[in-house]
A = this chain, B = another copy of it.
Amino acid sequence: MALYVYKFGGTSVGSAERIQKVADKVKVAHDDGHQIVVVVSAMSGETNRLVELSKQMQQQPSAREMDVLLSTGEQVTMALLSMALQERGCPAQSYTGGQVRILTDDSHTKARIQEIDDTNLRTDLNSGKVAIVAGFQGVTESGHITTLGRGGSDTTAVALAAALKADECHIYTDVDGVYTTDPRIEPKARRLEQITFEEMLEMASLGSKVLQIRAVEFAGKYNVALRVLSSFAEGNGTLITYDEESTMENPLISGIAHNRDEAKLTINGVPDLPGIASRILAPIADENIEIDMIIQNISSDGNTDFTFTVHRNDYEKASKVLEKIKNELGAKAVTGDDKIVKVSIVGVGMRSHAGIASTMFKALADENINIEMISTSEIKISVVVNEKYLELAVRTLHAAFELDKVVL
């Protein structure tokens, strides 16, 4: 008998019929003798509907009241799923974040979980009930309702799995696992049986939006075995594990990630003085613009070129900031390009293997794809290329590292 935490997102519980399918799936596991905690999101569309209503009320809706409002979405789903399970003769009970209780700090709309009291859940599980918990929400010490921010249901599931020492945490979604790359770009993309947390983090942050980054971090930190599966299809999905050794496959590269919505900005010929980076980036941060890659090369004749990438939506705003500070910094010019994309190879295998980077660069060069920027981490190499090369670059790298082949 195992203890599983299942999480179903908004699409998976998007209609009465889908909630019934979820109930069918949960009942099978319960009938097999497993203890099941189900974390649910709001029915798809519901959160947007509530946000829309709130905007009609207040220009900048109060964060506290926003949490009161949005938390109702999950509460509706959890009650409906509990009813559907009971209809199937499967004892069940629903819990709001406060009823569990999932204690958070008081940062409304983006609260962080501080502590989970598992007493009530344990009692229900031991008495043979399925426990259904509203995702995405918690409660403060003084009883105010909080939410963990959009997508926070994944975090709820992982946190519960950690608190309950669950055997696995299953994230049911509309894809059947993590792929070596985006199958819409490379039809030969292959579902991975396993991937490490670190690789998953890199894949997730690079736009493979299967899981919330925070949930993956959390799972890694508390050593929760996370599995991504399809709500609608059968299959084992992809297991995300902490333990590198446990991966059956041990390829150099696990996947190719990409990020379409990038733009790069360069401030040319700035004096290479201590503190120059922060003098460039502080005013960018003040405008709430998030920076992705940052590259500064060695200086020639005391001047250097400073380049960074931002989300394409922030390109105009960032350009204006740089133009404003250009003279004050003594820079020569501000240049930029908002037609770029980032393509990355990710894999824990590259830690212990040389030559990965040169294989990557050669493969791209063979296709005449010009590399505009390069950035590396321990388990990732990212390149910035013109957006017209996105698909070609992904397919080229997928082939170069033989990701369509299962490594035994």
Contacts and interface: CB of A to CB of B under 8 A. Distances in A.
Contacts of A75: 68-69, 71-72, 75
23 contacts: A19-B57, A50-B76, A53-B76, A54-B80, A54-B83, A57-B81, A57-B84, A58-B84, A59-B87, A62-B83, A65-B80, A65-B82, A65-B83, A65-B86, A68-B82, A69-B75, A69-B80, A69-B83, A72-B72, A72-B75, A72-B76, A98-B143, A99-B143
Interface string A343-361: 0000000000000000000
Given A83-B62, A143-B99, A20 B57 contact: yes
Given A53-B76, A58-B83, A72-B75, 14 more contacts: A19-B57, A20-B56, A54-B80, A57-B83, A61-B83, A62-B83, A64-B93, A65-B94, A66-B83, A68-B79, A69-B76, A69-B83, A72-B76, A96-B145
B58 A69 contact: no
A16 interface: yes
A78 B68 contact: yes
B64 A69 contact: no
The binding surface of chain A is classed by DSSP as helix
A291 to B, nearest CB: 33
Interface in A88-114: 93-94, 96, 98-99
Copy number in the complex reads: 2
Contacts of A58: 83-84, 86-87
Interface in A16-43: 16, 19-20
A145 B94 CA distance: 11
Contacts of A76: 50, 53, 69, 72
Nearest to A76: B72
A129 B195 CA distance: 52
A96 B80 CA distance: 20
A83 to B, nearest CB: 4
A64 B93 CA distance: 9
